[in-house]
Amino acid sequence: MSIPIRVLIVEDSEDDAMLLVQELRREGYDPTYERVDTPEAMTAALDRQTWEIVFCDYTMPHYSGTSALKLLRARDPDIPFIFVSGTIGEDAAVEAMKNGANDYIMKDNLKRLIPAIKRELREAEMRRSHALAEETIQHMAFYDTLTGLPNRNMLYDRLLNAIRTGGDKGRPMALLLMDLDHFKEINDTLGHHRGDVLLQQVGSRLQGALRPTDIVARLGGDEFAVMLPLSGSGDAALVAKKIQKALELPFMIEGLPVAVEFSIGVALYPDHGANPDSLMQRADVAMYAAKTTGEGYLLYEARHDRHSPRRLALIGELRWAIERSQLLLHYQPKISLKTGRVIGMEALVRWQHPEHGFIPPDQFIEPAERTGLIKPLTRWVFDTAQKQCLTWHRAGYEFTTSINLSARNLHDTQLPDELAGLLRECGGRPDRLQLEITETAIMADPARALEAITRLRAIGIRFSIDDFGTGYSSLGYLKKLPVDEIKIDRSFVINMAKDPSDVMIVRSTIDLAHNLGLKVVAEGVENKETYDRLGKLGCDAAQGYYMARPMPAENLTRWLAESPWGLNLR
C-alpha cells in the first residue's frame, strides 16, 4: 500500500524533479505532483489545490528559491518547505531556515529526503491539531456550548469595554438579567434533553427579538442576560416588554407546547453601577424582587436590596458555625486511569446546620468570600484536611489530599505563611498536599495569582486548576503558572457519553494540557462509558459518582478496603 502525498516541486529541471518523484515512489509514496518554475505558475498551483509539502530548488534561471519561500509563507505559514539543491551553501542554508524553510537537502544526498518528509509531515500535523485545540478552547471560554450564545465571560468583557470606551460621559446602557420561573420543575418533568432544547429555543427567540447590536448571553442554567445601549430612559422598559412578548407563545418541544414565564431584572449604567460587577449584582437583586413579587419585570431600586434574603441571615451564623465546628469535611477519591487505583482525595466542606440541615458549599462559600469569613473557613479546612492526610499516611496510604482555595484566598498575603505554620505544627508533608483553584479565580487577578501560587509552590505544595474550561483560558498565561494539573470541569464530562461535541472539547483539552506538560483530571465521571472513554483519550485521572461520592473519612476506610479502586495494603 503506497501512501498518497501531494507535492509541489519548484524546480527548473524536469530530470531533477523526476529524481525526487522516483525517490518518493521507491520509499512507498504515491505522489500527486506538479512542477513549476515561475512565480505565476507557483501562485496558480497554490490556488488550484492544497499541497502537503513543497520542494524547491535554490537557484533557477527564472526564479529564486528565496522568492518562492516568501511567496509560500505569505500564503501559508505551516506547509513544510524543503530546499533541494545542488548549490546551496552553508550560510545560505542557515539564512533560508531563518526565513521559514523547514530543511534543506543536497541533491546528491537524497538519503535524508524521506526522514525529513516524515518528520515535517508529523510536525505539520501537530501544529494543526494544536491550533485546532487552541481555537476550541478559546471558543469555549467565550461561548456557551449549549446555545452558542456568548457566555458570562464574554458579557463581562463587553460590559467592561462599553464602560471603558464610553468615556467620562458614560454612554448609558441597560443590563437585563432573566431566568425562567420553575425551570427545575420543567426540567424534571420533561427530562434534561428537552430542557436543553427549551433553553436553545429561548436563546434563539431572544436573539430574534433584539437588534444585532444588542448582546444576548446565557450565563448558565436557565439564566440569560441582555446588554443594550440606551437612547432614552424608557428604552429598557420597551425592550423588556419586547422580550416578554417574544417569549409569550408556548415553545414547541418535540410537538409538545410548553409555556414558560420569566422574571426580568434591569440595572442601568451609569445610574445603578459603575462597573460590570455592581451592574450584575443590582440586576440580580431586581430580578429576585421581580420573582418574589410576581412582577415579571422590575427596574432596580435601592429598596429591593432588602429582599435579598436568607443568604444574609446565614452569614451571621456562619462565623458561629466555624467556631462551633458545625462544619465538616467529606472526601472524594481521585482515581488514576493508568493504574485504576486511588491516587488522591479531595476535601469538600459541608455545613451541618442545626435547623436547616445539610447546607452545600455552593450556598455559603460565595457569601463567605464577600464577608471575609472565607479566611477562617479556609484555615479550618486546610488544618482539618492536612491532619486527615497525615492519619492516612501513618496508616500506609500514599495518596495526596487536595484542598479548594477561593479567589479571595489569593488576596490574603498571610496565607502562605499561615499554611506553612499549620503544616509545621503537625509535621505534615507539603508534597502530599495539593491546592485547587478555579481558572476564574486565577484570571480575575492573574498577577496576584501568580505571586500567591509561586509562594505556596515554594513551600512545596502543588497546584491544580479547577473547573477548567469555564473561565478565561489565556493559555499563554497558564504556561507561565507553576501548576501541575488541570481539572476539566464536570459540565463537559457529565454528558460525554451522549454528546460528541463534549468529547471533542475534552479531547482537545487533554491534548493541549499534555502539550503544556500538565496532568489532566476529569471530574463528574458518572458512568462506566465515560470512565473507559477518558482512559482511551489519555486522561490521567478521574473523579466522580461512578467511582465514589464524597463521603466522611470514616466511610472511606471501608471504601479503600472494599472498592475495586481502593488500595489493599496487605
Residue 293, SS3 per DSSP: helix
d(C-alpha 478, C-alpha 438), whole Å: 12
Residue 490 binds ligand C2E, judged by CB under 6 A: yes
* Residue 405 Cα distances to 316, 429, 561, angstroms: 22, 18, 30
**Length reported for the chain:** 570
Residue 404 binds Ca ion, judged by CB under 5 A: yes
d(C-alpha 554, C-alpha 548), whole Å: 14
Residue 333, SS3 per DSSP: strand
Task: Give the one entry of ligand C2E, Ca ion, none that residue 509 binds, where binding means its C-beta sits below a cut-off of 5 to 8 angstroms depending on kind.
Answer: none
Shortest distance, CB of residue 409 to ligand C2E, whole angstroms? Answer: 7
Give me 565's grid cell: 479502586
Residue 365 binds ligand C2E, judged by CB under 6 A: yes
Whether omega before 150 lies within 30 degrees of 0, making that bond cis, reads no
User: Given the complex with ligand C2E, which of 382 and 397 has the nearer CB atom?
Assistant: 382
User: Given the complex with ligand C2E, which of 204 and 413 has the nearer CB atom?
Assistant: 413
Task: Give the one entry of ligand C2E, Ca ion, none that residue 524 binds, where binding means its C-beta sits below a cut-off of 5 to 8 angstroms depending on kind.
Answer: ligand C2E
d(C-alpha 6, C-alpha 9), whole Å: 10
Shortest distance, CB of residue 486 to ligand C2E, whole angstroms? Answer: 12
The CB-nearest residue to ligand C2E is 544
Shortest distance, CB of residue 489 to ligand C2E, whole angstroms? Answer: 7
User: Given the complex with ligand C2E, which of 35 and 375 has the nearer CB atom?
Assistant: 375
d(C-alpha 48, C-alpha 153), whole Å: 41
Residue 361 binds ligand C2E, judged by CB under 6 A: yes
The answer for residues whose C-beta is within 8 angstroms of residue 74's C-beta and 6 or more apart is none
The answer for residues whose C-beta is within 8 angstroms of residue 541's C-beta and 6 or more apart is 334, 335, 336, 337, 343, 344, 519, 520, 521, 522
d(C-alpha 74, C-alpha 108), whole Å: 30
Of 420-459, which residues contact ligand C2E (CB under 6 A)? 436
User: Given the complex with ligand C2E, which of 206 and 368 has the nearer CB atom?
Assistant: 368
Residue 126, SS3 per DSSP: helix
Shortest distance, CB of residue 102 to ligand C2E, whole angstroms? Answer: 43
Task: Give the one entry of ligand C2E, Ca ion, none that residue 502 binds, where binding means its C-beta sits below a cut-off of 5 to 8 angstroms depending on kind.
Answer: none
- DSSP symbols for 529-565: HHHHHHHHTT--EE-STTT---B-HHHHHHHHHHSTT
Residue 544 binds ligand C2E, judged by CB under 6 A: yes
d(C-alpha 41, C-alpha 34), whole Å: 10
Q: Which residue type, as a one-letter code, is found at position 151?
A: N
Shortest distance, CB of residue 82 to ligand C2E, whole angstroms? Answer: 48
Residue 526 binds ligand C2E, judged by CB under 6 A: yes
Task: Give the one entry of ligand C2E, Ca ion, none that residue 550 binds, where binding means its C-beta sits below a cut-off of 5 to 8 angstroms depending on kind.
Answer: ligand C2E
User: Given the complex with Ca ion, which of 251 and 463 has the nearer CB atom?
Assistant: 463
Q: Among 179, 466, 502, 511, which residue interacts with Ca ion (rule: CB under 5 A)?
A: 466
Shortest distance, CB of residue 437 to Ca ion, whole angstroms? Answer: 9
Shortest distance, CB of residue 381 to ligand C2E, whole angstroms? Answer: 4
Pattern 369-408, binding to ligand C2E, x per CB under 6 A?
------------x----------------------xxx--
Shortest distance, CB of residue 54 to ligand C2E, whole angstroms? Answer: 48
The position carrying cell 436547616 is 356
Q: Which residue type, as a one-letter code, is found at position 17?
A: A
Shortest distance, CB of residue 219 to Ca ion, whole angstroms? Answer: 18
- Whether 17 and 41 have beta carbons less than 8 Å apart is answered as no
Pattern 423-462, binding to Ca ion, x per CB under 5 A?
-------------x--------------------------
- Whether 381 and 330 have beta carbons less than 8 Å apart is answered as no
Residue 485 binds ligand C2E, judged by CB under 6 A: no
Shortest distance, CB of residue 490 to Ca ion, whole angstroms? Answer: 6
The answer for residues whose C-beta is within 8 angstroms of residue 311's C-beta and 6 or more apart is 363, 367
Give me 226's grid cell: 441582555
Region from 256-264, 308-316, 537-545, 554-562 binding ligand C2E, contact rule CB under 6 A:
537-545
User: Given the complex with ligand C2E, which of 147 and 543 has the nearer CB atom?
Assistant: 543
Q: Which residue type, as a one-letter code, is found at position 91?
A: D
- Whether 558 and 338 have beta carbons less than 8 Å apart is answered as no
Q: Among 17, 162, 461, 525, which residue interacts with ligand C2E (rule: CB under 6 A)?
A: 525
Shortest distance, CB of residue 464 to Ca ion, whole angstroms? Answer: 8
Residue 329 burial class via C-beta count within 10 angstroms: exposed 0-12, middle 13-18, buried 19 and up: buried
The residues binding ligand C2E (CB under 6 A) are 332, 348-349, 360-362, 365, 381, 404-406, 436, 466-467, 490, 523-526, 543-545, 550
Instruction: Provide the binding-site residues for Ca ion, judged by CB under 5 A.
Output: 404, 436, 466-467
